[in-house]
Amino acid sequence: AVVSTQSGHYGREAEDILNSILPPREWTESGQLWVQQVSSTPATRLDVVNLQEQLDIRLQQRQARETGICPVRRELYSQCFDELIRQVTISCAERGLLLLRVRDEIRMTIAAYQTLYESSVAFGMRKALQAEQGKTDMQRKIEELEEEKKDLERQVNELKSKCDAIEKREAERRVVEEKKHAEEIQFLKRTNQQLKTQLEGIIQPSKK
């Protein structure tokens, strides 16, 4: 009788733990409230084999990805792990609680990684948008500089044309002045020669 009492107490404890791990599911149908509690029936080796087969079937049916991030695969494996926790808890409540602790830690770690991943994606998108905006601004700046360059080249060409015209006029002026200067020198030489001749003509008779 003592063994039976302990067994009954352990069974109720296991059921309480199961209900805390996997709370009863409640829904209303045709105005009637239905409550579905997790089974406390121990699992056999055949149940575990069937569980594995059902997992493989569900993975194929829902087209879960074999690698990488896949919410479907994660959901199915999570359900499978909950079932394993249920089976272990029935035979050993402490072991079930430890597995529950491991499950919750894994979920928190995955949630943290998911948050980090989403933050990284958002950060990457912001950087990409900033880079695109910077690219647009840089392109606009390049176009403005190209227009400025064309304007400066046009001014350079105009100034060069003016300089060429000025140099041409200056060269023509120098030619004219040099020609005029040469003519003046020739005129002065002739005048000097005439005066010299006249002077010699005046001086020579006086000597006689």
Residues 26/33, Cβ–Cβ less than 8 Å: yes
Tens of pLDDT, residue by residue over 16-42, are 777 777 777 788 888 888 887 778 788
Tens of pLDDT, residue by residue over 63-102, are 988 888 888 999 999 999 988 988 888 888 888 889 989 9
pLDDT for res 3:
35
Tens of pLDDT, residue by residue over 163-204, are 999 999 999 999 999 999 899 999 998 898 888 888 888 887
pTM here is: 0.53
pLDDT at 117 over 50: yes
pLDDT for res 147:
92
**Which pLDDT band, with edges at 50, 70 and 90, does 159 fall under?**
very high
Rounded-to-integer distance, Cα 144 and Cα 139, Å: 9
Q: 9 Cβ partners below 8 Å, 6+ apart?
A: none
